[in-house]
């Protein structure tokens, strides 16, 4: 059953302005593409040099740097994920040794899931324009919950005992550990996780938002494991400790590590491939300083409500303002890059408008849903692939185009064109 399309909906045979390439009349042309599509297809490396005709072997059937890189990335994900998972289990096991019974451990884990879920909901909302690969996000979480937590726990405990022996004051040792050791070690280990992900999966880092997302997931994992230990250790006052850590300050670690993530993410937009070398320390110093101030205020005041009003809430409001600005900047970048393709005939202006506004994307999905499940799926592919295409082109504009840029661009343009053909023709 046909339905009336929404105002933005693309239509077969829509007219472009005279300044844009006109559609090819070749039978193989797909809907919504101009002459650039035919030229691009003919110049893309689909067959080995010197071969032609039906016997030519497509380039994608032969192993090359593209497949080798993906294999390497898969191995890196597997190794880092297993390493992080083992350490996370070890950290939770060590924390469980002070639990009176198994119900304490299970309850502590359930309570720790509350702030974790809250943080992840916000992170996925921030990342919804161009979502990061889920396997890499899992690696980030396990790094925070396992690697960063285990190293921090070991070093902080060592510093605590050393400070207690030198000062002969357990209270003074706790303050030294909280204000000096904890910020330095915890932010360094969490920031190292962001940097490793950046160096291995640099092609997925497209700016400050991506750095913020990975840093937030690592910090969320760290806070999750740390909260389990705190809830078990202070089980006798579990209500107050849950309010302080789970409700008043669920974004504390996220806020600190976000400084490092933003710096690394911003370095991805610099033309120099080594910009991270000097930008990462700047973000790390900010993270350590903010963390030290936070712990210092807690140690000095001892009043959770005052801490929330004077420190936590203002920092959270400022961070939300920064996030809102970053998301606006990301949307503008996406619009500019898709406009490049629109001028070449790949998108209609109404499509660019739809793809770069929250209301437009929702309207597009609603419209496609009325045309059936196949069209709805095609619209999701269309929106996701368009976002990837915009990010790919932005990398080239920033001077970071990879050797397989043409191949990836062709794959995305083919996917976009095929998806458009599907939701236009669906009934």
Q: What is the pLDDT of residues 234-249, one digit of tens each?
A: 999 999 899 989 988 8
pLDDT of residue 315: 82
> pLDDT at position 38, please?
39
**pLDDT digits over 130-145, tens only?**
889 999 999 999 999 9
- Can you give the pLDDT at residue 283? 96
**Rounded to 5 degrees, what angle do the CA atoms 55, 60, 62 make?**
75
Under the banding of pLDDT at 50, 70 and 90, the label for residue 41 is very low
User: What pLDDT, on the 0 to 100 scale, is given for residue 163?
Assistant: 87
List pLDDT tens digits, range 416-426: 999 999 998 85
Contact 32, 374 (CB under 8 A): no
Note the pTM of the prediction, 2 decimals: 0.80
pLDDT number for residue 292: 93
φ, ψ for residue 270, nearest 5 deg: -80, 150
Kindly indicate the confidence band of residue 47, based on its pLDDT and cuts at 50, 70 and 90: very low
pLDDT at 191: 97
The average confidence (pLDDT) of the chain is 83
Distances (CA, A) of 84 to 138, 148, 334, 345: 10, 9, 34, 46
The string of pLDDT tens digits covering residues 318-367 is 888 998 898 898 899 999 999 999 999 999 999 999 999 888 999 999 99
Residue 18 has pLDDT above 90, yes or no: no
pLDDT at 427: 53
Q: What is the per-residue pLDDT across 160-216, written as a single tens digit (0 to 9) for each?
A: 888 888 876 777 888 888 889 999 999 999 999 999 999 998 877 888 999 999 999
Place 83 in a pLDDT band, splitting at 50, 70 and 90: very high
CA distance 418 to 54: 23
Over 80: is that where the pLDDT of 46 sits? no
What 3 state SS string does the chain have? CCCCCCCCCCCCCCCCCCCCCCECCCCCCCCCCEHHHHHHHHHCCCCCCCCCCCCCCCHHHCCCHHHHHHHHHHHHHHHHHHHHHHHHHHHHHHHHCCCCCHHHHHHHHHHHHHHHHHHHHHHHHHCCCCCCCHHHHHHHHHHHHHHHHHHHHHHHHHHHHHHHHHHCCHHHHHHHHHHHHHHHHHHHHHHHHHHHHHHHCHHHCCCHHHHHHHHHHHHHHHHHHHHHHHHHHCHHHHHHHHHHHHHHCCCHHHHHHHHHHHHHHHHCCCCCCCHHHHHHHHHHHHHHHHHHHHHHHHHHHCCHHHHHHHHHHHHHHHHHHHHHHHHHHHHHHHHHHHHHHHHCCCCCHHHHHHHCCHHHHHHHHHHHHCCCHHHHHHHHHHHHHHHHHHHHHHHHHCCCCCCCHHHHHHHHHHHHHHHHHHHHHCC
The lowest-confidence range among 55-64, 289-298, 377-386 is 55-64
- The whole-angstrom separation of Cα 249 and Cα 307 is 9
- Axis-axis angle for helices 65-96, 134-142 (nearest 10): 40
pLDDT at 17 over 50: no
pLDDT given for residue 40 in this prediction:
42
CA 287 – CA 219 distance, rounded (Å): 12
How far is it, in rounded angstroms, from Cα 304 to Cα 179? Answer: 17
Between CA 378 and CA 371 the distance in angstroms is 11
Q: How many CB atoms are closer than 10 A to CB 129?
A: 20
pLDDT at 242: 94
């Amino acid at each position: 059953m046909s339905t009336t399309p929404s105002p933005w909906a693309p239509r077969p045979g829509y007219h472009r302005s005279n300044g844009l390439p006109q559609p090819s009349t070749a039978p193989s042309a797909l809907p919504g593409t101009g002459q650039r599509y035919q030229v691009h297809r003919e110049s893309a490396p689909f067959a080995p040099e010197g071969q032609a005709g039906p016997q030519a072997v497509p380039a994608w059937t032969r192993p090359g740097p593209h497949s080798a890189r993906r294999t390497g990335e898969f191995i890196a994900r597997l190794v880092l994920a297993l390493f992080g998972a083992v350490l996370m289990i070890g950290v939770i096991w060590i924390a469980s040794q002070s639990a009176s019974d198994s119900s304490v451990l299970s309850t502590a884990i359930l309570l720790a899931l509350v702030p974790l879920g809250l943080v992840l909901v916000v992170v996925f909302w921030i990342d919804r324009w161009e979502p990061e690969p889920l396997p890499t996000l899992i690696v980030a979480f396990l790094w925070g919950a396992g690697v960063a937590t285990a190293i921090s726990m070991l070093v902080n405990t060592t510093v605590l005992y050393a400070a207690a022996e030198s000062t002969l004051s357990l209270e003074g040792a706790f303050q030294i550990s909280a204000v000096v050791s904890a910020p330095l070690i915890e932010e360094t280990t969490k920031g190292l996780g962001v940097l490793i992900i950046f160096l291995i999966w640099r092609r997925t880092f497209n700016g400050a938002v991506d750095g913020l997302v990975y840093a937030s997931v690592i910090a969320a994992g760290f806070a999750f494991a740390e909260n389990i230990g705190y809830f078990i250790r202070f089980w006798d006052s579990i209500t107050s400790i849950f309010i302080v850590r789970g409700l008043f300050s669920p974004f504390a670690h996220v806020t600190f590590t976000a400084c490092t993530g933003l710096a690394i993410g911003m370095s991805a937009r610099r033309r120099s491939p080594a910009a991270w070398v000097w930008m990462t320390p700047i973000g790390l110093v900010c993270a350590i300083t903010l963390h030290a101030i936070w712990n210092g205020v807690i140690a000095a005041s001892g009043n959770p409500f005052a801490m929330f009003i004077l420190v936590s809430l203002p920092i959270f409001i400022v961070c939300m303002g920064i996030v809102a600005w970053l998301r606006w900047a990301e949307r503008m970048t996406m619009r500019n890059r898709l406009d490049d393709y629109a001028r070449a005939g790949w998108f209609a202006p109404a499509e660019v408008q739809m793809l770069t506004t929250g209301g437009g994307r929702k309207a597009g999905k609603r419209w496609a849903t009325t045309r059936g499940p196949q069209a709805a799926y095609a619209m999701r592919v269309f929106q996701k692939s368009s976002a990837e295409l915009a990010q790919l082109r932005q990398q080239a504009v920033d001077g970071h185009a990879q050797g397989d840029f043409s191949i990836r661009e062709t794959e995305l343009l083919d996917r976009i064109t095929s998806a458009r053909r599907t939701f236009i023709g669906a009934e």
